[in-house]
Homo-oligomer: A and B are copies of this chain.
């Protein structure tokens, strides 16, 4: 089972569309997967309660449990202000350390409506996830100007499709 984390709680995000495409491609290879959509976070998850496990809501505990239950995780990461979304980091700040991620395997995908494709965002997230003990695939495809290269949930750009397929291929045997 692979968990695909859609890395923002922004409504109607392209990030969630890419997460769904990722799942589709995994299904085509008969690999089971689930999407964890940050829109499902409780509205007040990033309140001061974030730092006290005993104050977590059932909803938040359920999301944490989904991370705890898997061995392989893909992060779909939109670029916000030249880094990952604060909300994604706040979610990671609320995971159990170090058991949530340690010695597991991860893969990162970056996207942006601008020209970077989230490469600095992925660099920052790599620091965070390595610290948490998650081994990451070297291959981190980036998709700049993503809004110009998706239609009806599919990439319209052949190179983008290829990069995603190559990562999946590599991640399945990682």
Select which of B102, B116, B133 is within 8 A of A116 by beta carbon.
Answer: B116
Residues of A within 8 A of B (CB): 9-11, 39, 43-48, 50-51, 80-93, 97, 102-103, 115-117, 119-120, 123-124, 126-140, 144, 170, 174
18 A-B Cβ contacts within 8 A? A9-B46, A9-B50, A43-B44, A50-B87, A80-B89, A80-B93, A82-B131, A83-B124, A85-B90, A86-B91, A86-B93, A102-B138, A103-B138, A116-B116, A116-B119, A123-B126, A123-B127, A130-B138
How many copies the complex holds: the figure is 4
Complex-state Cα separation, A133 to B11, whole angstroms:
27
Q: A44-B44, A48-B9, A128-B81 are in contact. Are A174 and B135 (CB under 8 A)?
A: yes
Chain B residues whose CB sits within 8 angstroms of the CB of A45 once the complex forms? 46
Q: Which chain B residue has the least Cβ–Cβ distance from A117?
A: B115
Chain B residues whose CB sits within 8 angstroms of the CB of A9 once the complex forms? 46-48, 50
Q: Which chain B residue has the least Cβ–Cβ distance from A45?
A: B46
Select which of B51, B90, B115, B127 is within 8 A of A82 by beta carbon.
Answer: B127
Chain B residues whose CB sits within 8 angstroms of the CB of A144 once the complex forms? 115
Most B CB within 10 A of own CB, among A92, A127, A129: A127
Q: Which chain B residue has the least Cβ–Cβ distance from A82?
A: B131
Task: Give chain B nearest CB distance to A130 CB in angstroms.
Answer: 5
Chain B residues whose CB sits within 8 angstroms of the CB of A47 once the complex forms? 9, 43-44
Complex-state Cα separation, A95 to B157, whole angstroms:
31
Chain B residues whose CB sits within 8 angstroms of the CB of A91 once the complex forms? 86
